[in-house]
Structure 1
């Protein structure tokens, strides 16, 4: 699997990230760093404990990371979650969480697959 194929699998925008970071080695470095980021886990834990403020901060961070990496689909879900939490809409956030989780897990799986390729 190539880096471009990885981006296709995760519905990312390879042309955008390539234009921004220029070199595949640089893109790869930041894509691999995504695996170490704990924003998603922090968001989930905060939601489980009802800490909407912490959940908002965490998902807002995740949204920014996704925007910078051109992870368009995950950006979409994290952006929706951010807006629900910004508005204090826990019910809306709970509705988005399964799709966000599914998309996040797909990203992690595909990045790991690419890394072990």
Structure 2
């Protein structure tokens, strides 16, 4: 035994898909917009879970936009499953950031306009 008691596999870094949609109305959007977001989020979450590519972790309203967060081991695979549901939301401008690893100054990311 050199150095460690157990030889555990390395935990892969967590990737993220972060979708940002501009909304109308006040700082938190409008109630009819909330219901569209919640419905899309449930549908996208079910698709992500069924595909086994990660999880949709929730949303955040504020500053005239809504942000939907999802995490998994492969940002590209996660985005492919989420993409139809994200495109279905009517709010624009909108974009998605695919983050390939844990949050850090030097993490690789890609921006996709919806």
Compute the TM-score of the two structures, normalised by the length of structure 2. 0.30
Higher relative contact order (Cα pairs below 8 Å, separated by 6+ residues): 2
Larger radius of gyration: 2
Q: Which has the higher helix share?
A: 1
Q: Which has the higher strand share?
A: 2
Compute the TM-score of the two structures, normalised by the length of structure 1. 0.29
